[in-house]
Structure 1
């Protein structure tokens, strides 16, 4: 599946979705209408998009916004970011400090709906094909984040790397 087709499906699911649960419902409906091979292709595109956010920069920013993230919650966070659509995904990927713009809704990244997101294509494929979907070719899914970590206990380092998130956190504490 081409990137444009993948993002078109995500965008269509986002259009009428006020809440993440609505996005999930729309995604199930959209994927269920596809041939099983396209569901597998969509899943591979989802994994690739998730890998695009698998950096220490984005992980550290999400940890600041959510008061900590572990492996599982960071996977859920990346799924949530994908569900926002291509412009928002690209904004976060380009500069993790852009997450400050999502302060009102970032808590959705910790919801059960966010946790469910990445599994939707796999479950639909399994239900239709009777077997697990194929893995990415040559196991191309990243196993560790790329880039450099920010010491989140160093206020000066956080202020230097994530000034807008730091400002958002300062306002949110009040």
Structure 2
């Protein structure tokens, strides 16, 4: 499976809308119809996408949007972001403040809803189990980048500097 096929499958699953978990369910149903090697290829690509998106500023944006964020929470946030599609995902990785343009982020600013989808992270595992009746072969654990470059995500001034649009949405109070 290549990059275009990976994102096309997600895009097709998202076409009918719904929650990220609904997108994950449709992706599982589609992927489960493919052979085991393609399902494993999807999982390998998902891991590469997550590895490439483990960026300090995206983590900081997830922290702001969700009112805090752990490593697992950041994974779930990026699962949610995958369900938004290739373009939104790529823009957010390159410019996390672009998240402020997404309707779900605007809604979360008003409702306090936490954005995440663990089901998007498990699409290949669930599809493999459905297709083969077996568990997917274990892959080596993903290495986490160093957190040495993390900045203080609770520093309101730094948040406003890095994410002016997100900070405005989430009503970050001006410095006194």
Q: Equivalents in 2 of 1:18, 1:70: separation in Å? A: 26
Partner of 1:65: 65
Partner of 2:88: 88
CA deviation profile, 1:3-49 (whole Å, cap 9, x unmatched): 01111111111111222232122111111111111000001111111
Q: Give the TM-score, by structure 2 length.
A: 0.83
Does the CA-based 8 Å contact 1:43-1:121 persist in structure 2? yes
Partner of 1:45: 45
Question: Where do residues 1-174 of structure 1 align in structure 2 (5 Å cutoff)?
Answer: 1-102=1-102, 103-104=105-106, 107=113, 109-110=115-116, 114-127=117-130, 128=132, 130-135=134-139, 141-144=142-145, 148-170=149-171
Cα distance change on mapping 1:26 and 1:131 into 2, 3 Å: closer
| Pairwise CA RMSD | 2.3
Does the CA-based 8 Å contact 1:36-1:129 persist in structure 2? no
Q: Structure 1 residue 134: deviation in Å? A: 4.7
Q: Structure 1 residue 118: deviation in Å? A: 0.8
Cα distance change on mapping 1:76 and 1:160 into 2, 3 Å: same
Cα distance change on mapping 1:82 and 1:158 into 2, 3 Å: same
Q: Give the TM-score, by structure 1 length.
A: 0.84
Q: Structure 1 residue 147: deviation in Å? A: 8.2
Q: Equivalents in 2 of 1:88, 1:76: separation in Å? A: 16
